[in-house]
């Protein structure tokens, strides 16, 4: 897979690198079961038509630039993690559009002309609620109009679980409120982060990139994978202002770890920082009840 950074106006070199493709559109934070449906659909079309499979995403999240509603600057899948997932899903080109104020103002028709036709999109695939262009005025119906018969459009219908749309928003809410055990039914697997393991003689801790979304402060049942070793452990999350700390207990090995790459999977919330177990239960049940989709 090739990851290609795209700025606006699109660089000539990027256009020259492009190949006729089926393009899947969206931000794709988490690459959850709804997103996977988009990629699967796009891949099937790419195979049927003998085209490359491309994904077009943005960085940072448009909410950071548009400043309307909640700004999303921590991710379930920071860009390096997204790249790995798309690689596994056999994506050929990952276009990462540098989303800035100028891009936010691009009218929907221009976005289609420059970013889709300009990168040889022959078939676009996105979900029922995908929007694009200035003020999000481009909808999936508008995309068919803006395509002007230059490419085909497939709209993927809403994928639901427990009567609600599977969404990055719901997953973020589950993770940040500590209900990590609910994640697999929307993500298809437990929430997993990658970091580096350190031991300072007393404590074992994991350092992660700053833009990873972490569960709320508390103690969690986790599993840690280091190379061929896969162990159950306990992780205590503490957050002091901007400073976040992930301390890990119960790893079998006595070795001193200095920067070894580890993968940590979040299985269950055990207790909050005051050692009250399951304090978040009611909050998230309320959230899930409130967010039942219409
Ligand atoms: C070229 C482009 C310009 C956009 N401009 C706006 C905008 O001016 N206002 C807006 O609310 N959303 C705008 N959007 C954002 C999308 O409509 C959408 O909200 C965004 O991709 C985030 O999706 P999500 O909230 O579903 O993750 C733009 C998207 C694209 C691709
Ligand atoms: N549950 C779903 N069913 C079908 N399509 C989906 C679903 N969730 C997202 N999509 C589609 O996947 C692509 C990426 O969407 P996006 O990144 O906005 O995900 P999201 O989960 O809706 O995020 P958010 O909750 O932040 O709005 C878009 O084409 C979107 O329409």
Residue range(s) defining the domain that contains residue 107 = 2-158
| Omega before residue 199 within 30° of 0, cis | no
CB of 129 shorter than 6 A to ligand 2: yes
State in Å: Cα 84 to ligand 1 middle.
Answer: 24
Cβ atoms of residues 175 and 207 within 8 Å? no
Our mutation pick for probing the ligand 2 site, out of 28, 29, 34, 61, counting the most ligand atoms within 8 A of Cβ, is: 34
Last residue of a domain, one of 104, 128, 158: 158
- Among 284, 268, 283, CA closest to 190: 268
Ligand nearest to the CA of 130: 2
Shared domain check, 107 and 152: yes
CB of 1 shorter than 6 A to ligand 1: no
Query: How far apart, in whole angstroms, are the C-alpha atoms of residue 33 and residue 7?
Result: 29
Show Cβ contacts of residue 284 under 8 Å, excluding neighbours closer than 6 positions. 173, 174, 177, 178, 179, 182
Burial of 176 (0-12, 13-18, 19+ CB in 10 A): middle
Last residue of a domain, one of 158, 175, 195: 158
Shared domain check, 41 and 9: yes
Number of domains in the chain: 2
Predicted ipTM of the assembly: 0.96
Shared domain check, 137 and 224: no
State in Å: Cα 168 to ligand 2 middle.
Answer: 7
Report which ligand 1 atom has the smallest distance to the Cα of 61.
Answer: 22
CB of 182 shorter than 6 A to ligand 2: no
Ligand 1 atom 23 nearest Cα: 27
Question: What CATH number is associated with residue 35?
Answer: 3.40.50.620
| Omega before residue 9 within 30° of 0, cis | yes
Shared domain check, 147 and 11: yes
Local structure of 159: helix, strand or coil: coil
Cβ atoms of residues 11 and 96 within 8 Å? no
CB of 88 shorter than 6 A to ligand 1: no
Shared domain check, 83 and 66: yes
Last residue of a domain, one of 158, 181, 211: 158
CB of 131 shorter than 6 A to ligand 1: yes
Ligand 2 atom 5 nearest Cα: 127
What is the per-residue pLDDT for 276?
Answer: 65
pTM: 0.93
Shared domain check, 150 and 174: no
Shared domain check, 258 and 173: yes
What is the per-residue pLDDT for 227?
Answer: 86
Shared domain check, 211 and 274: yes
Shared domain check, 211 and 139: no
Shared domain check, 188 and 149: no
CB of 266 shorter than 6 A to ligand 2: no
Shared domain check, 204 and 143: no
- Which one-letter DSSP state was computed for residue 12? H
Question: What CATH number is associated with residue 219?
Answer: 2.40.30.30
Shared domain check, 114 and 39: yes
Query: How far apart, in whole angstroms, are the C-alpha atoms of residue 271 and residue 235?
Result: 11
Phi and psi at 19, nearest 5°, equal: -135, 155
Residues of the chain with pLDDT under 70: 253-257, 275-294
């Amino acid at each position: 897979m090739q990851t290609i950074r795209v700025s606006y106006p699109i660089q000539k070199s990027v256009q020259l690198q492009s190949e006729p493709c089926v393009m899947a559109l969206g931000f794709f934070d988490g690459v959850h079961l709804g997103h996977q449906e988009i990629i699967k659909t796009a891949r099937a079309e790419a195979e049927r038509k003998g085209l490359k499979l491309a994904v077009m995403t943005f960085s940072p999240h448009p909410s950071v630039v548009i400043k309307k509603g909640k700004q999303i600057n921590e991710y379930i899948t920071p860009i390096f993690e997204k790249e790995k997932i798309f690689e596994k899903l056999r994506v050929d080109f990952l276009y990462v559009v540098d989303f800035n104020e100028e891009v936010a103002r691009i009218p929907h028709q221009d976005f289609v002309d420059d970013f889709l036709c300009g990168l040889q999109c022959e078939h676009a695939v996105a979900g029922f609620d995908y929007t694009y262009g200035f003020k999000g005025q481009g909808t999936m119906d508008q995309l068919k109009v803006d395509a002007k018969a230059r490419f085909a459009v497939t709209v993927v219908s809403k994928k639901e679980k427990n009567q609600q749309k599977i969404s990055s928003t719901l997953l973020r809410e589950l993770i940040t409120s500590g209900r990590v055990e609910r994640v697999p039914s929307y993500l298809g697997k437990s929430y997993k982060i990658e970091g580096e393991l350190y031991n300072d003689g007393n404590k074992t801790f994991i350092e992660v990139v700053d833009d990873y979304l972490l569960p709320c402060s508390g103690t969690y049942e986790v599993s840690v994978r280091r190379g061929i070793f896969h162990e159950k452990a306990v992780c205590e999350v503490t957050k002091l202002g901007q400073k976040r700390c992930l301390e890990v207990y119960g790893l079998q090995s006595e070795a001193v770890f200095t920067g070894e790459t580890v993968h940590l999977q979040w299985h269950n919330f055990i207790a909050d920082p005051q050692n009250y177990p399951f304090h978040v239960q009611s909050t998230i049940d309320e959230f899930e009840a409130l967010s039942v989709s219409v």
